[in-house]
Amino acid sequence: MKLKTGDEVLVLRGKDKGKKGKIDRVFGRRQEILVAGINIYKKHVKKSKKTPGGIMELFRPLPVSKVALVCPKCNLATKVQIASADNKKIRICKKCKQQI
């Protein structure tokens, strides 16, 4: 996967289209990411001994195909190119050709 924890992404589809946020967690096998403040759902919880009850906010993961990486150098949504330098894989912005 070309996205990593801490990257800034732009949502391309869905109810949060156009919003930006930082990646909190990456689920590699499921090809999903968790972004803080985006894709929030509300869940009604019944009062019990463990929980006070009420309405809770849940952050649900987004599919990787619905977000685009925002380049920190040019501040534009871009695709990522993988290149190798000194036997290491590096990520390169397709728009400004700088290392991410």
Compute the distance between CA of residue 38 and CA of residue 76 in angstroms, rounded to an integer.
Answer: 19
Domain positions in the chain = 8-93
- The three-point CA angle 45-49-55 to 5° equals 20
CATH number for the 8-93 domain, one of 2.30.30.30, 3.30.420.40, 3.40.50.2000, 2.60.40.420?
2.30.30.30
* Predicted pLDDT of residue 77: 94
Do residues 51 and 43 make contact, with C-beta atoms less than 8 angstroms apart?
A: no
pTM of structure? 0.83
pLDDT in tens, 31-61: 999 999 999 999 999 999 988 999 999 999 9
